[in-house]
Chain A
Amino acid sequence: MAKTLYDKLFDSHVVTEENGTALIYIDRHLVHEVTSPQAFEGLRLAGRKPWRISSIVATADHNTPTNGWDKGLSGIADPVARLQIETLSDNIREFGAKAYFPFMDSRQGIVHVVGPEQGATLPGMTVVCGDSHTSTHGAFGALAHGIGTSEVEHVMATQCLVQKKSKTMQVVVNGTLEKGVTAKDVALAIIGKTGTAGGNGYAIEFAGSVIRNMSMEGRMTLCNMAIEAGARAGIVAVDDTTINYVKGRPFSPKAEQWDAAVAYWNTLHSDEGAKFDAIVTLDAEEIQPQVTWGTSPEMVVGIDGKVPSLEMAKNEVQRGDWERAYAYMGLTPNTPISDIQIDKVFIGSCTNSRIEDLRAAAAIAKGKHIAPNVKLALVVPGSGLVKAQAEQEGLDKIFTEAGFEWREPGCSMCLAMNADRLASGERCASTSNRNFEGRQGQGGRTHLVSPEMAAAAAVAGHFVDVRQFV
């Protein structure tokens, strides 16, 4: 029978199955400081050891500061954050890992940037991490999803996850994207169409000519945002783009194993005629650069659009949501998006902090300067290696000459656990993935956009159609 890619990945990892609940084997376990301490503590209390240490790759990212690295650990002003970062080091020392990139290691960075970059994420793998954006790794034709801390402990102890099979959704985007329209815009446009709950209970496979023509960076951006559509997993079939990206990375298969791996990876696509439980289609030509206006990623419109008015809400519940969102965001219905002035800009996060994202933003910022009303424009590379690469290409200079701050890698203002955050009422053009109330700082107002759109907004001081710059 014709199988979907999701079915292939799931079925090939089932250890046992009973009444639809399966135990699936986990190939790669990515670990960071925030969702692991309680799991390690659980192992310790029960006298358990990790099942397979070589599956564990760890780094510190959520809490780490993005400046003041010359002071080392003691530069972390918040003692609670420092303890959490130190606890990860202690736990890895005690329990072990295949690789650990601690705070300030040259390879440290956001776990979802580091994994692929190291070749620790490979096609055909099952990948888990105590972080919802683990869906990112699905870009490699891997089955990857976020888990809670109890599950982190479970995977450490047993190398398995208790899992029910999801339904499958295929999201097909055909056509050609206009210049200046990016994977981020595709992701936001999809969420605008399905809603943030549209993918609940589903694994999404992204397909169509737009995805086939996308770089790995773009596919990662897309799969990263699958969780914002409610889907625990997003996947893209393996092709030459995938294989070329993986080749030669530190943990990728070498020499004699490489050919066998590639032969297997080339089977990782949905079979002709495979049935999906749901299909959503989008036309590339209809996708504009997107900007979120509200407090959920589904509250999104094209740059030509306006903040929607209440009459457009589909029901009472949505009316309530929108009314709260207007108040929180300090916006009135029918305001043109391009009239919205911003205070800060954040270019970073596991959605958009890879080299390609930084190149695209730099291309817009080059030779220009951030607008006087923009108090702070941060560029935070996804990892130490991305940072080094960008510096080698001179991107850091372009940014700093344009008035941006060039920082050390980490999650930074994506969730504002460290010192990088919005003050109450501040409005930010952000390349991250969540615009929830308080996400970037209590009372902070987040508008999600692509790196190009963020850079353009920084220069203009308000949202502006980046298509006029490219």
Chain B
Amino acid sequence: MEPFVKLEGLVAPLDRANVDTDAIIPKQFLKSIKRSGFGPNAFDEWRYLDQGEPGVDNSKRPINPDFVLNQSRYQGASVLLTRENFGCGSSREHAPWALEDYGFKVIVAPSFADIFFNNCFKNGMLPIVLSADVVDGLFNQVAATEGYKLNVDLGAQTITTPTGEVHSFEVDAFRKHCLLNGLDDIGLTMQQQDKIKAFELNHQQTQPWLFN
């Protein structure tokens, strides 16, 4: 996994609460047995005017000009600003895969759904929780300023606006460590093999029916 340390990125606003994973990546794309290539279908139903199917050339499809991410000023955005409970719904990791493939590295919202939040970290993305008021302020600033960028520093746990306002955010120490160093969870857990084996042996003695 690529480490995540710092990022200065263009911000795209998605002014909706409860954006669900069906909206982030519709189910017809979940049939893929690959992990990549979901970016062109991120937010498919909002982004295009026709119905998307796997295997179709997305560059030839009619674009929905009203959808915010299609506006020219937000092209190349790597920070997604959105509202509460982002990523609710299914556990599909295709959702963070699609957002990452689209180009987003950071998502800022007042709250996230648990599984989605977790899935982001596994893919080198940083979901950041800021208070609803701060998020509201950021929405206003983004709307008012073309080319609005945020500076994200994971080490310092801060977001800095173009005018120099600094907002700190919380991040779990373990997840931060993994992200900063691009560490793969499986490799880390395998270092604990002996403990897992010892636990398993004991578990099997006390609840043998679990191992039938």
A contacts, CB < 8 Å to B: 15-16, 18-21, 23, 25, 27, 34-35, 37-38, 41, 46, 48, 51-52, 54, 62-63, 78, 80-81, 83-84, 87, 122, 124-125, 130-132, 134, 145-151, 153-154, 157-160, 162, 164, 196-197, 200-201, 230, 232, 251-253, 257, 260-261, 264, 296, 317-318, 320-321, 324, 415-417, 434, 436-439, 442
Contact = CB atoms under 8 A, between A and B. Distances in A.
Nearest to B188: A162
A35 B25 CA distance: 14
A196 B85 CA distance: 8
A438 B44 CA distance: 11
B93 A37 contact: no
A-B pairs, 4 with minimum CB distance: A253-B209, A150-B122, A37-B33, A148-B93
Contact of A157 (B20, B23, B190): B190
11 contacts: A16-B195, A38-B34, A78-B31, A80-B55, A84-B33, A125-B210, A145-B115, A159-B196, A162-B185, A197-B113, A317-B17
Contacts of B167: none
B85 A230 contact: yes
Nearest to A19: B173
B168 interface: no
Nearest to B20: A436
Contacts of B189: 23, 154, 157-158, 160, 162
Contact of B23 (A48, A125, A436): A436
Interface string B89-131: 1111110100000000000000111110011001100000000
A438 B189 CA distance: 38
Contacts of A87: 33
Interface stretch (B57-65, B66-74, B144-152, B200-208): B200-208
A252 B105 CA distance: 45
Interface string B174-211: 10000000000110011010011001100100011111
A416 B27 contact: yes
B18 A46 contact: no
A48 B89 contact: no
Contacts of B28: 417
Contact of B88 (A122, A131, A197, A201): A197
Contacts of A27: 210
A158 B186 contact: yes
B22 A438 contact: yes
A131 B85 CA distance: 18
B17 A321 contact: yes
A19 B32 CA distance: 37
A197 B17 CA distance: 10
B170 interface: no
B5 interface: no
Contact of A150 (B33, B119, B172, B196): B119
Nearest to B119: A148
Contact of A23 (B196, B207, B210, B212): B196
B33 A83 contact: yes
A164 B119 CA distance: 14
Contacts of B114: 200-201, 230, 232
Interface of B: 15-18, 20, 22-23, 26-28, 30-35, 45, 51, 54-55, 83-85, 88-94, 96, 111-115, 118-119, 122-123, 172-174, 185-186, 189-190, 192, 195-196, 199-200, 203, 207-212
A164 B172 contact: yes
Contacts of A80: 31-32, 54-55
Contacts of B35: 38, 41, 149
Given A157-B190, A200-B85, A230-B85, A437 B22 contact: yes
B88 A230 contact: yes
Given A147-B115, A437-B22, A320 B16 contact: yes
Contacts of A15: 192, 195-196, 199
Nearest to A34: B30
Contacts of B31: 34, 63, 78, 80-81, 83-84, 417
Nearest to B118: A148
Given A157-B190, A442-B26, A442-B51, A124 B33 contact: no
A438 B23 contact: yes
B199 A197 contact: no
B99 to A, nearest CB: 13
A320 B91 contact: no
Contacts of A125: 210
A200 B190 contact: no
A188 to B, nearest CB: 16
B26 A197 contact: no
Contacts of A230: 85, 88, 113-114
A324 B45 CA distance: 14
A132 B119 CA distance: 12
Nearest to A54: B211
A154 B186 contact: yes
Nearest to B34: A38
A130 B119 CA distance: 11
Given A232-B115, A320-B15, A442-B45, A196 B88 contact: yes
A148 B18 contact: no
Given A150-B185, A251-B212, A19 B196 contact: no
Nearest to A82: B31
A423 to B, nearest CB: 10
A415 B196 contact: no
A436 B20 CA distance: 7
A180 to B, nearest CB: 29
Given A38-B33, A124-B207, A132-B90, A320 B45 contact: no
Contacts of B88: 196-197, 230
Given A27-B210, A38-B34, A253-B209, 17 more contacts: A15-B199, A16-B192, A34-B30, A34-B92, A78-B31, A80-B54, A84-B33, A146-B91, A150-B185, A151-B122, A157-B186, A159-B196, A230-B85, A253-B212, A321-B17, A434-B90, A436-B23
A146 B174 CA distance: 21
A59 to B, nearest CB: 17
**Which of B23, B174, B192, B199 is most buried by chain A, counting CB atoms within 10 A of its CB?**
B199
Contact of B111 (A54, A150, A200, A417): A200
